[in-house]
Amino acid sequence: MISNPVADMMTRLRNANAELHADVPMPHSSLKEAVARVLKSEGYILDFVVEPGEPCSTLRIRLKYRGERSRRERAISKIRLVSKPSRRVYVGKDDIPRPLGGMGICILSTSQGVLAGHEARARGVGGEVLCEVL
């Protein structure tokens, strides 16, 4: 039983990215899949697939790198969990953070689904800030 599935996902991504792994498997949930969809649309990961299995499905994320194996540059330089079970962080539409002055993204859980910060700003909705990706 994982107490905070998004924190577990961020930790797995951070560790796999640090070791230059090609992909990282994790237990599937619809929230993790929605976060992976945002990461893919923003160009931070190559792709993700949901592999059915027993007792639960697996979400496999393919990480993105640039360059040769010896000189690889990571697409995700930093990933940080913002909202935690002990401290939930909610923002209105006018207070959505812009990590690195807009060079990074924040991922929000809104009433319209899981969105990137700039998309939530364009739609005029706020929500819970899940994480920041730089």
Q: What is the pLDDT of residues 15-26, one digit of tens each?
A: 999 999 999 999
Cα distance between residue 123 and residue 134, in whole Å: 22
- Find out whether 10 and 81 touch, Cβ atoms under 8 Å: yes
CATH topology of domain 5-133: Dna Ligase; domain 1 (3.30.1490)
Greatest alpha-carbon span in the chain: 44
Pairing assessment for the beta strands 127-133 and 105-110 based on DSSP bridges: antiparallel
Domain ranges of the chain: 5-133
Amino acid at 5: P
pTM for this entry: 0.94
Q: What is the pLDDT of residues 60-119, one digit of tens each?
A: 999 999 988 778 899 999 999 999 999 999 999 999 999 999 999 999 999 999 999 999
The CB density around residue 115, as the number of other CB atoms within 10 Å, is 23
Q: In the predicted model, what is the mean pLDDT of residues 36-46?
A: 97
Strand partners, 56: none
Instruction: Give 84's DSSP letter.
Output: B
